[in-house]
Structure 1
């Protein structure tokens, strides 16, 4: 067992006890964020020379799922914020020194959607825009924000998305922008930038993170950094979502132990409930196993010094979105049998159910584009390269 996973187990009770608090406050509390920070989960994909572990992706995803099964918001943040050091470890060393030179536990938010606009100036860019869904942003000191470069007239000059890294003083968090019914505890608020200067060394083209190009430029030879961005980032979202399904299953079991139906029978001995439970538990376990096994396959390939083929990338992404759908369908079957008592806000089951469906609508969990890309490639076509 990775030592981070042991540390996560040590704070499991705290994560469970403060899940409702995160939802009420619309963010992780400072105390919960600090406990999560102390586990080291956010440093698992971070370069060793800046305090990271350079763990395998499967080890990282196991830790994310261990967090999220206890506290969906914390697990989501562990996945999203925790995948950022993988990319930042491939930026110029000057930026890495700024981020982690004094504190290797510095957290960096996102999002990557290229909604910003940047104009070239001497030494860098003038950058502006507004982005929704900045998960965990209240607990972060920097942000990676997506954008496109324009000419002086505001027209797109280069269609390639770029990632711009900014310190907290250069962007604004809009605290009234996250009024939602699921994953509220992630605090995935809007952030905006108003003509901030971003130096050249804090900006990289997204496609350079596809086949280890950027990693080689900064001398990173661990196969971890040869994994494509389009593979590892969606998987962090998938892991956080699968974690919620595991949490919902545990909540159902705990609630069912003492529940009595309106007919006066114990649900823990009711054949209908036991049948649905067994079926759902098997689907959730299968989803977890399929997901982690695929990431061990991916690791075997890059560890041999090979690039991932399009066939393997599409096959594993196909499996990921199917695993998520299979797991959430299982949660729905459990929730349908949980009874009216499970709707009480004091019951974790209803929160996990809402969080599961909030996670399901993330673009990285949307199945049809991945299925279509897989089929197009299978029959010799050219699939759109998007999130795979």
Structure 2
């Protein structure tokens, strides 16, 4: 592949913009959109080179997701979430890598990781059941990562809890149709998943706690900087990049909309200093969100590349920065949307979709500021963060 995915996206920008309404109507990305994204190679950016992956710097991955989301929020969201899964698959058991990518190295992998299933040990693996929400892009994926709690012989979660990441083929789970009736990001098709008494062999199971703390990467013998990056830096990156890209798309729509608009009092918006001030401030905040997110991932990359530990305090600070970038960008969108007049509410105007999608993006658990900010504040003062504050950091 000689063309960078971000450049390939530029070549199909009009098609991605044009399919946004259809994606909302379908409640998932159209098949043709998924084909175009596959051809662009977006989901191969973080995949290992031995399976045709590009092993791209995370910064370029984030910039590519932002670009996609600026064209259509749902497309960017799917790129950000499905696109990060190959990074984790790179340090899974080689046997499951071959099953996933052996015949098609552009196979997509879905999630979610929320541990709403129970895995009961049996001979050779686990017996597994559960139901999960929010499997973004799932209709176009043939494998899935699903979060689980380790259960005892009766299927009761063990205490203290152990989180597992189960890897299943499409034949072992069911996508629940009509389970994604939402106000924003409807085109992501983030439907429910059901697993009923599936057998999952041990080589298709990863210890979720070890993935998050870096033990899994070390045990897999990963030596490349990309695959030694902290999970709490990589997994949130695609999601927050999509939100920042959504804000950039909203700003672009707003500028197009306001350029020739006449306000309620007969004044051209281009002559309204109050609206222009709001546009300038919002543009600065959206750019600041982009720059702080990219600078954060660059700094963590440099630490890992230099062989230094990314300790808990730095990881918590990284999560703080990542969350703040998302909120800063969406609050800026609110400022311009509130100054767009009543016609911006019309469903045939793309600005209202960007506004809805941006707010929906903040509802992801990775954007909840409470515990990461609490942990960051404590550790920055030299105190240890208790266990309840360490989740997803």
Distance 1:156 1:263, change over 3 A: same
SS of the aligned residue for 1:146 comes to strand
Contact kept in structure 2, 1:251 and 1:348, CA below 8 Å: yes
- 1:13 aligned residue: 14
Residue 196 of structure 1 deviates from its aligned partner by 0.6
CA distance in 2, matches of 1:377, 1:45: 31
**Corresponding residue for 1:74?**
75
- Aligned equivalent of 1:150: 151
The residue correspondences of 1:205-216 to structure 2 (distance < 5 A) are 205-216=207-218
Alignment TM-score, normalising by the size of structure 2: 0.96
Q: In structure 1, the residue corresponding to 2:282 is in which secondary structure?
A: helix
Asked if residue 196 in structure 1 is aligned to residue 208 in structure 2, the reply is no
Number of equivalent positions: 388
| Equivalence for 2:97 | 96
Shift of residue 212 of structure 1?
Answer: 3.9
Matches within 5 A, 1:1-388: 3-157=4-158, 159-379=161-381, 380-383=383-386, 384-388=389-393
Whether the 8 Å CA contact 2:214–2:231 is kept in 1: the answer is no
Equivalent pair of 1:93/1:218 in contact (CA under 8 Å):
no
- Shift of residue 2 of structure 1? 7.5
Question: Counterparts of 2:301 and 2:152 in 1: how far apart (Å)?
Answer: 41
Deviations 1:207-251 (A, max 9, x none): 222354323433431111111212211222111111111111111
1:386 Cα deviation from its structure 2 partner = 1.3
Spell out, residue by residue over 1:58-94, the C-alpha distance to the aligned partner (whole angstroms, 9 max, x if none).
1111101010010100100000000100001110111
How far residue 110 of structure 1 moved from its aligned partner, in angstroms, is 0.4
8 Å contact kept, 1:211–1:226: no
Q: Is contact 1:211–1:307 with CA below 8 Å preserved after alignment?
A: no
Q: Using the TM superposition, give the Cα deviation of residue 19 of structure 1 relative to its aligned residue in structure 2, in angstroms.
A: 0.9
User: How far 1:367 sits from its partner (Å)?
Assistant: 1.3
More displaced stretch, 277-286 vs 4-13: 4-13
CA distance in 2, matches of 1:378, 1:36: 41
User: CA–CA distance in 2 between the matches of 1:28 and 1:125?
Assistant: 33
> Is the contact made by 2:115 and 2:149 (CA closer than 8 Å) also made in structure 1?
yes
Paired with 1:352 and 1:104, the residues of 2 have a C-alpha distance of 32
SS of corresponding position for 2:158: strand
Contact preservation (8 Å) 2:118, 2:156: no
| Structure 1 gap segments, 5+ residues each | none
What runs of 5+ residues in structure 2 fail to find an aligned partner? none
Q: Could you tell me whether the CA contact under 8 Å between 2:109 and 2:144 is conserved in 1?
A: yes
Residue 270 of structure 1, CA deviation: 1.8
* Post-superposition offset of 1:269: 2.7
- Give distance in 2, aligned partners of 1:269 and 1:293: 36
Q: Using the alignment, how far apart are the partners of 1:13 and 1:167 within structure 2?
A: 33
Taking structure 1 as the reference length, the TM-score comes to 0.97
What SS does the aligned partner of 2:162 have? strand
Q: Which runs of 4+ in 1 moved over 4 A?
A: none
Q: Report the alpha carbon displacement of residue 57 of structure 1 after superposing the two structures with TM.
A: 0.9
CA contact (8 A) 1:287 1:327 kept: yes
